[in-house]
């Protein structure tokens, strides 16, 4: 079928069914719906309506719906549900999704919910996952996977796999462990099928298997899975014991969130916000860099203030300060963006010195072209050869310095183990504004002999 | 095993083996290597060395290595290989990867290579894929998939599937078609196994299956697959005939490329470049927006020029122009980034009017806070109450206008079917610079009674 598109008519129809509390018709209507589509609809409803819908549909599907809801709505709905109701939703979820929802609950409620989960093994696995840092492979993995012991025979293995497969939506790989649960390798279904029933797994498994540690950074896991085109990767603890599995759908989310974060950082937004967030949340995300920008602007104003004595004779120098600041900012952002992206893709090889000298030539080339344009415009406008030269030569210097700063800072931060993306956008723009204007006046004064 | 990390020692060792033309040792060395790791190594070698390596290893693996190489190196290597050699590499690749490589060849060579592919069915499938626009589902899909006819019996189906599975690395789903190759649904392996051998597929298949059209935008395909957590999706033509399949690993690449593109657009980089590209390529990508920025700066200078008469008395107004331009730019970039991201995630609902009025309140709040800070700083610095008021009130107006422009332009472009990401970064910064300075002087003049 074609992908679902939510129309106003559909939404109105659902609302009137909810308004009429027509449980049977709602269940009938949503019978064939994917949970992601139900979540999309619920996100458009009022809290009361969404709550009625969640309670009407069976928890086999609403558990998944919960994981796909907007965070705010999910929080509100969870606060209206009883611990028993939440527990019955979680019972239907994979351990990683259940753990993510529990993390969002107030700690007392979380305890209650966990104690209400009927399947105690499922509960124990969720509790184990809660131990791991959200921002690690452990925080990303699920306990659901298929594993077999190297000492089993093929017959035992097939029987055990059948039992395990009931709880695992997508098999992907069969992992092989020893008696201590240490990851030894993987098993090909084909090899399993052509082996005699009494053969031991240790004689047929493939010892070559990629894995990551529970403490690995999610971004690193994403890189590894993308590089090797993996759809699932086993996760091991410090003793190399198999503790979980990460699947590609979670990695797709990691890649998107990471990209969103870098994009927002570049735009000077300091925390994860969405267009639909409250004005207060949006202000909290936007104001910090604006204040930094304001301080930068004040700095630029003070610098210009120190050159006030030349303003009546060389007013034109002051007219070009927004241009100089803008060029310094743009060049800095371009250089830093290319370096940040190169670092993210592991493309940056060679020394910092080599990078800087490349950027030097690059900025010199760009600066020369732009300086010629600026020279001609200024000359045509004011007819003063010396001023036009001063302004354009300063522009070259500013562009070179801005390019070098934009290149150096992310490289430096990365060497220090700090995410270089923090140094893009307004950070580079603001620092380059100040440096740019300082250099500009200094060189212009020199040339004009002031 | 732990993920491979390329060290200088490993690289030196490989280079000396290549230098000594020690084919046997090289084959032995790379025996266990993943093609993505071989590509990573080859990217660090000289052309001659990489070529020797590719020719030494068997084409079963070097085909995949080719797809993972940096584009420049791949192009150079392909130009050194004979049509027969290239054809033997392509023979080992899935149709989508083979088609991608053929697209990069000069058209005459491409013809020769295709005619040298021994498996004519494989060649025909590659030729079919070449028909589709690179930037569509058709350009992304592979011909490799498992499909069964609804009129087959279970026995026939199992036999046919075995034969097909030989050419398909990952099965994912079994698609069901009718005699006209029209997609009818999918088949669960479990249902197949529990059905009697003489049952017909049409009685056991699941008619519910997500699909996309060959003409669908890759970004849209990515959204659908991420939303429904799909690992593969069938592609149909206008007649709903099953023509191919897209797998999640290709979608991961689409998501990353899209994110890189948006990031670069925000940074004012006009084409896809990498840190390692030539200075000329980097200049081509960076110069266009710098020239736009220069024109914007000249515009700002001309505006300031028209206020030259007040410069001696109100020099301080001119000192704040970089601050005003920076704030207008930053606010505009923040607003547009949030809207562009919201559009990309299908989060922007409601009217443009509603968005603009929200942004109005938001900018007013931010503007007020920033204006208070600016007022206090200016007053402390110069002690002129009226100037401080003029500057800070102008700032509020500039921030509001900048926020509204940043919100409106991406919404407007999106309504017109233009990618709103083009309106982020320097575009918003530059237009807001000019508007900002114009509004600033106009309001300041009003307040100061000039």
Q: 3-state SS of chain A: helix, strand, coil percent to 5?
A: 65, 5, 25
* Residues of chain A neighbouring B228 (CB-CB closer than 8 A): 34, 36
Q: How many CB pairs under 8 A join A and B?
A: 320
Contacts 24+ apart (CB under 8 A), B350-355: B352/B408, B352/B411, B352/B412, B352/B415, B355/A275, B355/B407, B355/B411
B225 falls in which pLDDT band (50, 70, 90)? very high
Lay out the sheet containing B146-149: strands in order across. B146-149, B174-177, B183-187
A333 contacts B268? CB cut-off 8 A:
yes
Please report where in the chains the tokens 């696995």 appear, as a residue: A125
* Contact (CB<8Å) A286/B334: yes
Condensed to tens digits (0 to 9), the pLDDT of residues A393-425 reads: 999 999 999 999 999 999 999 888 888 887 777
Longest dimension (CA), chain A: 98
What residues contact residue B93 under an 8 Å CB cut-off, 6+ apart? B63, B64, B66, B67, B101
Residue of B279, B330, B342 lying closest to A426 (CB–CB): B330
- Nearest Cα residue in chain B from A378: B298
Q: How far apart are CA B257 and CA B251, in angstroms?
A: 10
Would you call A315 and B308 a contact, using CB atoms and an 8 Å cutoff? yes
CB contact under 8 A, B297 and A327: yes
Q: What is the pLDDT of residue B332?
A: 92
| Partners of residue A226 in chain B, C-beta under 8 Å | 249, 252-253, 256
B228: number of CA atoms within 13 Å, CB side?
20
Compute the distance between CA of residue B25 and CA of residue A80 in angstroms, rounded to an integer.
Answer: 67
DSSP 8-class letter at B241: B
C-beta separation of B269 from B285 below 8 A? yes
Distance CA A325, CA A426 (A): 12
Residues 6+ apart with CB under 8 A from B4: B33, B34, B37, B40
B333 touches chain A (CB under 8 A): yes
- Cα A368–A373–A376 angle (5° rounding)? 120
Is the Cβ of A36 closer than 8 Å to some Cβ of chain B? Answer: yes
Contact A269 B334 (CB under 8 A): yes
More confident residue, B425 or B125: B125
Q: Which of A448, A338, A101, A24 is nearest to B283 (CA)?
A: A338
Whose CA is closest to B220, among B246, B190, B183? B246
Closest partner CB to A323 (pick from B229, B298, B320): B298
Q: Cβ(B432)–Cβ(B329) under 8 Å? A: yes
- Torsion of the alpha carbons at B194, B195, B198 and B200, rounded to the nearest 10: -150
Comparing CA positions, the residue from B281, A339, B280, B218 lying closest to residue B272 is B281
Number of CB atoms found within 10 A of residue B166's CB: 6
Tell me which chain B residues have a C-beta less than 8 angstroms from the C-beta of A263: 259, 262-263, 266, 337, 341
Look at B362 and A282 and tell me if their CB atoms are within 8 Å: yes
Alpha helices in B307-425 (DSSP H): 315-319, 321-344, 352-382, 385-415
Handedness of CA B413, B419, B420, B422 (dihedral sign): negative
Could you tell me if B441 and B324 are in contact, meaning their C-beta atoms sit under 8 angstroms apart?
A: no
**With contacts defined as CB-CB under 8 Å, which chain A residues touch B44?**
349
Residues of A with Cβ-Cβ distance to B430 under 8 angstroms: 326
Cβ–Cβ gap A326/B330 under 8 Å: no
A256 min Cα distance to partner chain B (Å) = 7
> Among B3, B326, B426, whose Cβ lies nearest the Cβ of A210?
B3
Nearest to B263 among A229, A263, A366 (CB): A263
Q: According to the model, what pLDDT value does residue B421 have?
A: 83
Yes or no, beta carbons of A275 and B342 under 8 Å apart: yes
Report residue B150 as tokens.
Answer: 């609804």
Q: How confident is the model at residue A92 (pLDDT cuts 50, 70, 90)?
A: confident
Residue B127 sits at the chain A interface (C-beta within 8 Å): no
Question: Is B338 at the interface with chain A, CB within 8 A?
Answer: yes
Interval A193-215: pLDDT, tens: 778 888 899 998 999 899 999 99
Judge whether A300 is closer than 8 Å to chain B, CB to CB: yes
> Per DSSP, what are the bridge partners of residue B246?
B233
Alpha-carbon span B385 to A400, nearest angstrom:
39
What pLDDT sits at residue A324? 93
In the block, tokens 């934009």 appear at A406
Tell me what pLDDT residue A194 has.
78
Confidence bin at A304 (pLDDT 50/70/90): very high
In whole angstroms, what is the distance from residue A29 CA to residue A85 CA? Answer: 23
In A130-256, beta strands by DSSP E: 146-149, 174-177, 183-187, 212-213, 232-236, 242-247
CB contact A447 to B (< 8 Å): no
Each residue's pLDDT tens digit, A337-358: 999 988 888 777 778 888 899 9
> Which fold, B279-448?
Tetracycline Repressor; domain 2 (1.10.357)
Determine the 3-state secondary structure of A233 from DSSP. strand
CA distance A362 to chain B (A): 6
DSSP symbol at A423: G
pLDDT at A339: 92
Domain ranges within chain A, ordered by starting residue: 8-134, 146-253, 279-448
Per-residue pLDDT at A445: 87
Q: Could you give the CA distance from residue B229 to residue A39 in angstroms, rounded to a whole number?
A: 14
Q: What is the model's pLDDT at position A168?
A: 77
Q: Which of B263, B315, B322 is facing A437, going by the closest CB pair? A: B322
Q: How many Å separate Cα B98 from the centre of its chain?
A: 21
B228 touches B252 (CB < 8 A): no
Q: How close B108 comes to chain A (CA, Å)?
A: 32
Please give, rounded to a whole number of angstroms, the shortest distance from the CA of B48 to a CA of chain A.
Answer: 21
Q: What is the CATH topology of the domain spanning B146-253?
A: CBS-domain (3.10.580)
Q: Which of A210, A255, A302 sits opposite B252 (nearest CB)?
A: A255
Please tell me if residue A372 touches chain B, with a CB cutoff of 8 Å: no
- CA gap A426, A5 in Å, rounded: 38
Interface of B with A in 54-93 (CB under 8 A): none
Joined together, the tokens standing for residue A86 give: 């939440």
Q: Searching chain A, which residue's CA lies closest to the CA of residue B321?
A: A322
Q: Distance between CA atoms of B440 and B304, rounded to whole angstroms? A: 10
For A325, which residue in chain B has the nearest alpha carbon? Answer: B322
pLDDT-based confidence at residue B6 (cuts at 50, 70, 90): confident
A392: contact with B, CB 8 A cutoff: no
Which pLDDT value is given to residue B310?
87
**A357 and chain B: CB distance < 8 Å anywhere?**
no
With CB atoms and an 8 Å threshold, state whether B318 touches A338. no
A396 touches chain B (CB under 8 A): no
Say if residue B213 is exposed, middle or buried (CB neighbours under 10 Å; 0-12, 13-18, 19+).
Answer: middle
Confidence of residue A3 (pLDDT cuts 50, 70, 90): confident
Q: Which two tokens stand for residue A41?
A: 């609809």
Q: H helices within B58-168, ranges in order?
A: 59-68, 71-80, 83-91, 95-104, 107-116, 120-130, 137-140, 154-165
| B375–chain A Cβ distance below 8 A for any pair | no
- pTM above 0.90? no
Hey, is the C-beta of A41 within 8 angstroms of any chain B C-beta? Answer: no
- Any bridge partners for residue A148, and if so which? A176
Residue with tokens 């494989």: B122
CATH number for A8-134: choose from 1.25.60.10, 1.10.3720.10, 2.60.40.1180, 1.20.1070.10. Answer: 1.25.60.10
| Chain B neighbors of A308, CB-CB under 8 A | 315
Q: What pLDDT is attached to residue A171?
A: 75
pLDDT exceeds cutoff 80 at B263? yes
Instruction: Give the whole-number percent of chain B exceeding pLDDT 70.
Output: 100
pLDDT tens sequence across B298-322? 999 999 999 988 888 888 899 999 9
| Residue in B with minimal Cα distance to A338 | B275
Instruction: Provide the token pair at B434.
Output: 């000019």
Closest chain A CA to residue B304: A319
Neighbouring residues of A24: CB distance < 8 A, sequence distance ≥ 6: none
Calpha distance B212→B240 (Å, rounded): 9
Q: Looking at A272-384, list the stretches that DSSP marks H as alpha helix, in order from N- to C-terminal side.
A: 279-306, 315-319, 321-344, 352-382
Q: Which residue has the higher pLDDT, A441 or A426?
A: A441
User: Closest Cα to residue A419, out of A343, A367, A315, A356?
Assistant: A343
Domain B8-135 = CATH 1.25.60.10: yes
Residue pair B56/B42 in contact (Cβ under 8 Å)? The answer is no
Min Cα–Cα distance to chain A from B439, Å = 15
Chain-wide mean pLDDT for chain A? 90
Residues of A in contact with B266 (CB under 8 A): 263, 266-267, 337
CB-based contact, A311 to chain B, within 8 Å: yes
Kindly determine whether residue A290 and residue B370, on different chains, have CB atoms separated by under 8 Å: yes
B331 touches B406 (CB < 8 A): yes
Q: Is residue B212 a contact partner of residue B221, using CB atoms and an 8 Å limit?
A: yes
Q: What is the mean pLDDT of residues A151-169?
A: 84
Work out whether strand A174-177 and strand B212-213 pair parallel, antiparallel, or are unpaired.
unpaired
DSSP state at residue A146: E
- CB-CB contact of A395 with A373 (8 Å): no
Contact status, residue B424 vs residue B337, Cβ threshold 8 Å: yes
**pLDDT one-digit tens code per residue, A10-68:** 999 999 999 999 999 999 999 888 899 999 999 989 999 999 999 998 877 888 999 99
Question: Left, alpha or beta for B23 (phi > 0: left; psi -120 to 50: alpha)?
Answer: alpha
Please identify among residues 210-239 of chain A the ones whose CB lies closer than 8 Å to any CB of chain B: 210-212, 224-229, 231
Comparing CB atoms, the residue among A208, A268, A276 nearest residue B333 is A268
Q: How confident is the model at residue A139 (pLDDT cuts 50, 70, 90)?
A: very high
Average pLDDT, chain B: 90
Distance (Å) from the alpha carbon of A202 to chain B's nearest alpha carbon: 17
- DSSP 8-class letter at B200: B
Residue pair A368/A396 in contact by the 8 Å Cβ criterion: yes
Contacts 24+ apart (CB under 8 A), A184-193: A184/A150, A185/A209, A187/A148, A187/A157, A192/A154, A192/A157, A192/A158
Query: CA dihedral defined by A345, A348, A352, A355, rounded to 10 degrees?
Result: -110
Distance of CA A422 to the CA centre of its chain: 14
Over residues A218-244, mean pLDDT: 93
What strand order describes the sheet that includes A232-236?
A212-213, A232-236, A242-247
- pLDDT at A313 exceeding the cut of 90: no
Q: Kindly list the residues from chain A whose CB atom is less than 8 angstroms away from the CB atom of residue B209.
A: 1
* pLDDT at res. A299: 93
Q: Mind listing the pLDDT tens digit for each residue in B314-361? A: 888 999 999 999 999 999 999 999 999 888 887 777 788 888 999 999
């Amino acid at each position: 079928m074609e992908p679902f598109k939510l129309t106003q008519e559909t939404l109105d129809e659902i609302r009137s069914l909810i308004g009429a509390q027509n449980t049977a018709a709602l269940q009938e209507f949503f019978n064939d719906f994917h949970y992601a589509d139900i979540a999309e609809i619920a996100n458009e409803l009022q809290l009361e309506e969404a709550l009625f819908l969640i309670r009407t549909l069976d928890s086999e599907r609403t558990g998944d719906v919960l994981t796909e809801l907007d965070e705010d709505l999910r929080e509100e709905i969870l606060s209206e549900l009883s611990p028993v109701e939440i527990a019955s939703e979680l019972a239907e979820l994979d351990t990683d999704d259940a753990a993510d929802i529990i993390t969002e609950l107030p700690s007392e409620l979380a305890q209650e919910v966990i104690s209400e989960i009927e399947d105690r093994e499922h509960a124990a696995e969720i509790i184990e996952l809660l131990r791991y840092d959200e921002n690690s492979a452990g925080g990303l993995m699920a306990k659901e996977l298929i594993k077999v012991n190297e000492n089993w025979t093929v017959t035992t293995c097939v029987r055990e796999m059948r039992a395990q497969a009931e709880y695992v939506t997508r098999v992907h790989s069969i992992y092989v462990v020893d008696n201590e649960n240490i990851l030894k390798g993987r098993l090909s279904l084909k090899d399993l099928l052509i082996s005699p029933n009494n053969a031991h797994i240790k004689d047929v498994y493939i010892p070559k298997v990629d894995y990551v540690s529970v403490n690995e950074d999610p971004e690193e896991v994403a890189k590894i899975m993308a590089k090797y085109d993996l759809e699932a990767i086993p996760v091991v603890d410090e003793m190399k014991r198999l503790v979980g599995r990460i699947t590609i759908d979670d990695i797709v989310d990691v890649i998107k969130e990471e990209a969103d974060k870098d994009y927002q950082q570049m735009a000077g937004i300091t925390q994860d916000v969405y267009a639909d967030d409250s004005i207060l949340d949006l202000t909290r995300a936007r104001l910090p860099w604006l204040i930094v920008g304001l301080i930068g602007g004040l700095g630029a104003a003070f610098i210009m203030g120190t050159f006030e004595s030349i303003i009546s004779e060389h007013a034109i120098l002051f007219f070009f300060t927004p241009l100089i600041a803008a060029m310094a900012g743009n060049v800095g952002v371009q250089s830093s963006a290319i370096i940040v992206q190169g670092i993210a893709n592991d493309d940056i090889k060679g020394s910092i010195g080599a990078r800087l000298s490349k950027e030097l030539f690059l900025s010199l080339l760009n600066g020369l072209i732009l300086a010629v344009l600026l020279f001609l415009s200024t000359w045509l406008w004011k007819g003063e050869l010396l001023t036009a030269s001063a302004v354009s030569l300063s522009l070259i210097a500013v562009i070179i310095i801005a390019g070098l700063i934009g290149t150096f800072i992310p490289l430096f931060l990365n060497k220090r183990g700090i995410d270089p993306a923090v140094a893009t956008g307004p950070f580079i723009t603001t620092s380059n504004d100040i440096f740019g204007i300082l250099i500009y006046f200094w060189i212009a004064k020199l040339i004009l002999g002031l």
